[in-house]
């Protein structure tokens, strides 16, 4: 089950085609305020978001084994969601995959929240090393900017609900050339679990998964058979 990064939606994962036969079934989890849920009010707090999303997991996955994946904002959403699902007898939770994120107790020293539109977009592009082409179109920018701002503020204001480690294994992934999240920061997730931990580096920058999902899927496939 995949959670989107700031400003993204389930459509990003729905666009993953021609995956290897060994790939797990990809189930995107949509957030309000985007795509088919555009008219709905977006989440403003990551902890509240996880609380609201948790009941949908068993519904969308049919009650079978589930692993969670999230990139950047999606990583902390997946982490809080995993905390709730560990106590849900209707969900067989196997592993948490967090990508492009420092440990949940590490906040950003440089923020984008509160900047004017141009400065905000430049700061977000600086963070990600990437900007979606749609933001170059004035009409699309006007539509996408409010939810991107809300997502970034939710991420920058995030505080974990608990410091108790999860009981499921965690795999932390990062682009090997990521200038936003260092290897040391990605390794901070080790303290977020009492089970096994793995750190995986994938060629690319912070948004490495935009180039191709295949290296990420291969890392996930390698991790899951041990469960």
Does 209 fall in a domain? Answer: yes
Cα 83 to the center of its chain, rounded Å: 15
Is residue 27 within 8 A of residue 2, CB to CB? The reply is yes
Tens digit of each residue's pLDDT (9 = 90 or more) over 132-151: 666 777 777 787 888 889 99
CA distance 95 to 91: 12
Is 95 inside any structural domain? yes
Question: Is 133 a domain residue?
Answer: no
Q: What is the 3-state secondary structure (H, E, C) of 122-145?
A: HHHHHHHCCCCHHHHCHHHHHHHH
Residue 90 lies in a domain: yes
The answer to whether position 185 is within a domain reads yes
Report pLDDT digits (tens) over 117-129: 888 888 877 776 6
Give CA–CA dist 189/68, Å, rounded: 15
Domain-embedded: residue 58: yes
Spatial distance between the Cα atoms of 102 and 169, rounded to a whole number of angstroms? 17
Q: What is the pTM of this model?
A: 0.92
Q: How confident is the model at residue 39 (pLDDT cuts 50, 70, 90)?
A: confident
What is the count of structural domains for the chain?
1
Q: What is the CATH number of the domain that holds 90?
A: 3.40.50.1820
Who's near 208: CB < 8 A, 6+ residues apart?
Answer: 100, 175, 178, 202, 215, 216
pLDDT higher for 129 or 68? 68
Query: What is the helix (H) or strand (E) element at residue 2, kind and residue range?
Result: strand 2-3
CA angle 32, 33, 34 (to 5 degrees): 95
Buried b / exposed e across 112-140, counting CB within 10 Å, b at 16+?
Answer: beeeeeeebbebbeebbbeebeebeeeee
121 within domain boundaries: no
**According to the model, what pLDDT value does residue 130 have?**
60
Please answer whether residues 28 and 56 qualify as being in contact, where contact means their C-beta atoms are separated by less than 8 angstroms. no
Domain span holding position 92: 2-106+159-226
Is-contact 206 130, C-beta < 8 A?
Answer: yes
Confidence (pLDDT) at 196: 96
For residues 170 and 90, what is the distance between their CA atoms, to the nearest angstrom? Answer: 21
Per-residue pLDDT of 163-172, as tens digits, reads 999 999 999 9
Domain assignment present for residue 143? The answer is no
Counting every residue written for the chain, the total comes to 227
């Amino acid at each position: 089950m995949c959670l989107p990064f700031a400003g993204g939606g389930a459509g990003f994962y729905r666009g993953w085609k021609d995956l290897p036969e060994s790939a797990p079934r990809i189930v995107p989890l949509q957030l309000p305020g985007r795509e088919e849920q555009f008219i709905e009010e977006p989440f403003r707090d990551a902890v509240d978001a996880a609380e609201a999303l948790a009941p949908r997991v068993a519904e969308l996955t049919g009650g079978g084994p589930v692993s969670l994946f999230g990139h950047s904002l999606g990583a902390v959403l997946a982490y809080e969601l995993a905390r709730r699902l560990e106590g849900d007898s209707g969900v067989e939770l196997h592993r948490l995959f967090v990508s492009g994120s420092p440990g949940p107790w590490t906040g950003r020293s440089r923020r984008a929240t509160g900047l004017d539109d141009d400065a905000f977009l430049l700061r977000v592009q600086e963070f990600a090393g990437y900007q979606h082409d749609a933001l170059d179109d004035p009409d699309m920018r006007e539509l996408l900017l409010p939810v991107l701002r809300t997502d970034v503020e939710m991420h920058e204001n995030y505080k974990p609900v608990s410091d108790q480690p999860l009981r499921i294994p965690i795999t932390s992934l990062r682009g090997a050339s990521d200038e936003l999240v260092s290897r040391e920061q990605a390794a901070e997730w080790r303290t977020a679990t009492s089970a096994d931990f793995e750190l995986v580096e994938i060629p690319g920058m912070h948004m490495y998964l935009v180039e191709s999902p295949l290296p990420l899927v291969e890392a996930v496939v390698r991790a899951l058979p041990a469960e």
